Amino acid sequence: MGGEVGIRTLVDRFYDVMDSAPEAVNVRALHATSLKSSREKLFLYLMGWTGGPPTYVERYGHPRLRQRHMPFTIGARERDEWLWCMQQALDEHDLPEPFRHALWLRLMQIADFMRNQQDDDPPHALPTRD
């Protein structure tokens, strides 16, 4: 993913898209006015998740992603908006296609796992990358 610089670039682009795109209005509303803390936490999480230093765990403990996201209403719409923002960021990130595909599949699984609202969109109906 480009090491620390690459992950920072991806995370910054992801949150820039979320902060400015009307397609992300619902997922953006789940975040604080300032995205500084969210940017840092996602950066640290992705660094550890991709084999880098475990700084996220050292600072915040086990990620417990679903538990940490429970206070927020996350349905298919929020999941899809998050994935849309990530897709925009990934499309601008230079990654080998096999890795990009594997990463995208894993991110879709994680995003769907964050859902805590029942709606008419079953997990198998995840959006696909075009």
- The string of pLDDT tens digits covering residues 28-81 is 999 999 999 999 999 999 999 999 999 999 999 999 999 999 999 999 999 999
16 part of a folded domain: yes
Asked whether residue 119 is domain-assigned, the answer is yes
| Predicted confidence band of residue 2 (pLDDT cuts 50, 70, 90) | confident
Residue 84's domain comprises: 3-125
pLDDT in tens, 74-114: 999 999 999 999 999 999 998 999 999 999 999 999 999 99
Q: Output the pTM of the full model.
A: 0.88
Q: Is the pLDDT of residue 14 over 60?
A: yes
Whichever domain contains 33, its CATH number is 1.10.490.10
User: What does the pLDDT read at residue 41?
Assistant: 96
**DSSP states of 9-51:** HHHHHHHHHHHH-GGGHHHHHTS-S--HHHHHHHHHHHHHHTT
Whole-number pLDDT of residue 84: 96
Q: Is residue 75 part of a domain?
A: yes
Length of the chain, in residues: 130
Please give the residue that has the higher pLDDT: either 1 or 124.
1
What domain count does the chain have? 1
Q: Is 85 helix (H, G, I), strand (E, B) or coil?
A: helix
In a domain, 130, yes or no: no
In a domain, residue 24? The reply is: yes
